[in-house]
Every structure is written in C-alpha cells, then in structure tokens.
Amino acid sequence: MIFGKAYRCCLFIFVVFFCLLTGCDSTTVGSHAMIDDRHAQERERMVHKQLERRGIADKRVLSAFLRVKRHLFVPGNYRDLAYSDQPLPIGNGQTISQPYIVAFMTESLGLKETDRVLEVGTGSGYQAAILAEICQEVYTIEIVPELGESARQLLEDLDYSNVHVKIGDGYKGWAEHAPYDAIIVTCSPTHVPEPLKDQLAEGGRMILPVGKKYAQELVRLRKEEGELVEESVLPVRFVPMVNDGGKRY
C-alpha cells in the first residue's frame, strides 16, 4: 500500500514537471486521462454485457469492439449514450445501429484477415471501422454526401487506411473492386439487389435486412456454385435503402 502511494506521488510529480516543461495544464491532462479511461471501461462493459452475454464469441470481433472508440462516431450531444444498448441518431434521418446488431452481423459473415468486404450504408463509419480492424480491405458506400464525407474524414483521421469510401447509390454496389468475399448492408431494401449478388465472390457471404418498412428480416446468403443459398436469421428494423431521388428500393 505504501509503495502504491509512493508510486502515485511520483507519477503526479512527473506529470506536473512535464506540464511545466511543455506549457500544458496538468488539470487538463488529468481530465483527458479520466475521460479516456471512462470510455475504455464503458467499452469493456459493452462487450461483456451486450455482446458476450448474448452469444457473440468471435475473439476478433470482440477485440475490434474494444479497440474502436464508438463515442467518436456519434454526434456530440449523444456521446454519453454511445455505449448504451440502443441505436442512436447520426443526422440526415440515419442511425448508428445498436452494438449487438453490429456485432451479430459482423460475426455472421465469418470474416478472415484476408477478406475484402463491401459495406452498403457507411453512416458515421462505425461499422466500417469494426470491419477494418478484422479484414484486409473495406469498401463502403454512402448515398448521403454529408454523412459520407464526414465518415471519410473521421476514418482518415483515425488512420484506417484500408477503408475506401464512395459517395453513391449502394444498390448498385461498387463493381470496380468486385468480387467481394463478404458484403454487409446496413439499410433495408425490399429485395436482395441483383448487382450485389453479382459482385459477391464464389464462396462469399452476404448479410442484409430485407422487407417492408416495419417488417424486416436479417437475411444471410452464401454463394455456392454460382447460386445463392439464403436463410433468415433475425427480425430487425433498419432505415430503408433509397436511390438518389429518395425513392425506396
């Protein structure tokens, strides 16, 4: 106990001395450290209570959720709720999905380190960041320019050099970089888009919400010998997939 107190005292003296040399405010440094520590603890609780307890077991997925700072991907006025078990508004009528749904969809794809993944519906960039922690390359499309540009800048600032953002119509996919080992769609069309089927590699996996506005099923597909094997896995509710004119697909 005495040693612990002595260690903390020495650490405090070091911080104060460092601040005197650099001209920074020791109170500010301590405040930022406390904030960072608080968010780290919130991420740990989120992973344990919301993900592991509900059956998410892929260690790479769980590690990604511990590393990615979710509070950076929500508007400032919602940051206190960033690690709560709920979706949150991110502007332009869009939302960031609750952590469990992001984890469930990610784990369902059975991702490998060498995979190249297409995401439709960049939103704030959180799902792309999670994927980037696991896979080799992530290509993500956002139809709302303001969201897409904001996500692009944030992902660049966070050094996710393996994430490539495009502003465009996600229904059409991103043929230039196809085929993809996995495709994840975070907005809901009324049917599985044909371009996405074509851009999925042999043996590739796709997961997306399909259905009407208030009655959707999370559907998982796998391409085997050129044909798609489909299964429904979970009832969900996502924002609709729309075209440039705002019309739903």
- Cα 110-111-116 angle, rounded to 5 deg: 140
Tell whether the torsion through CA atoms of 39, 41, 47 and 50 is positive or negative.
Answer: negative
Phi/psi of residue 47, nearest 5 degrees: -65, -45
pLDDT value of position 36: 65
How far are the Cα atoms of 11, 90, 91, 123 from residue 150, in angstroms, in the given order? 38, 11, 11, 9
* Homologous superfamily of domain range 44-236: Vaccinia Virus protein VP39 (3.40.50.150)
pLDDT value of position 18: 39
Please give the Cα distance from 57 to 24 (Å, whole number).
43
Residue 227's identity, in one-letter code, is E
Q: What is the pTM of this model?
A: 0.84
pLDDT value of position 244: 82
Active site residues: 97
* SS3 assignment, position 133: helix
Tokens of 206: 């796709």
pLDDT value of position 33: 44
pLDDT value of position 71: 97
Is there a contact between 239 and 212 (Cβ–Cβ < 8 Å)?
no
Q: Give the orientation angle of helix 145-157 with respect to helix 126-134, to 10 degrees.
A: 40
pLDDT by residue for the chain (249 residues), tens only, comes to 444 444 444 444 444 443 444 444 433 334 444 456 689 999 999 999 999 999 999 999 999 999 999 999 999 999 999 999 999 999 998 999 999 999 999 999 999 999 999 999 999 999 999 999 999 999 999 999 999 999 999 999 999 999 999 999 999 999 999 999 999 999 999 999 999 999 999 999 999 999 987 779 999 999 999 999 999 999 998 999 988 878 889
